[in-house]
């Protein structure tokens, strides 16, 4: 994903489970960024599988084209996290995919 710099550890209020420098081999994310979970048990690995929807929603909601060269490299993981969680709190493509309405569930 290319998100570097900025916060190098857990957010305030997070309880330490892993060393902040350890990286999850599956997601490639530092353990501290994957730790926060929604009540429904959805984690960052689940959310990031919808990267194409994140791209579209970030462009529509925030006017951010994540394909702009150097954009993500110049931002912290926290910067991305705040915006993705913002997309999860509004009517967005991402939210609809992660938490489909009851009638849409198989």
What's the predicted TM-score (pTM) here?
A: 0.61
Q: Which residues contact 73 (CB under 8 A, 6 or more apart)?
A: 2, 3, 4, 5
pLDDT the model gives residue 42: 81
SS3 91: coil
pLDDT in tens, 31-54: 555 454 444 578 888 899 999 999
Where are the domains positioned within the chain?
A: 31-104
Number of DSSP helices (H) and strands (E) in the chain, helices first: 5, 0
- Identify the segments of the chain with pLDDT beneath 70: 1-24, 26-40, 104-106
């Amino acid at each position: 994903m290319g998100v570097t710099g900025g916060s190098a550890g857990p957010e305030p209020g997070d309880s330490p489970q892993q060393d902040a420098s350890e990286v999850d081999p599956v997601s490639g994310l530092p353990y501290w960024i994957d730790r926060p979970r929604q009540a429904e048990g959805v984690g960052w690995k689940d959310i990031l599988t919808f990267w194409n929807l994140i791209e579209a929603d970030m462009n529509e909601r925030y006017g951010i084209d994540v394909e702009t060269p150097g954009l993500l490299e110049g931002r912290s993981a926290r910067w991305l996290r705040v915006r993705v969680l913002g997309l999860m709190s509004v009517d967005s493509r991402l939210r609809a995919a992660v938490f489909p309405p009851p009638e849409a569930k198989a």
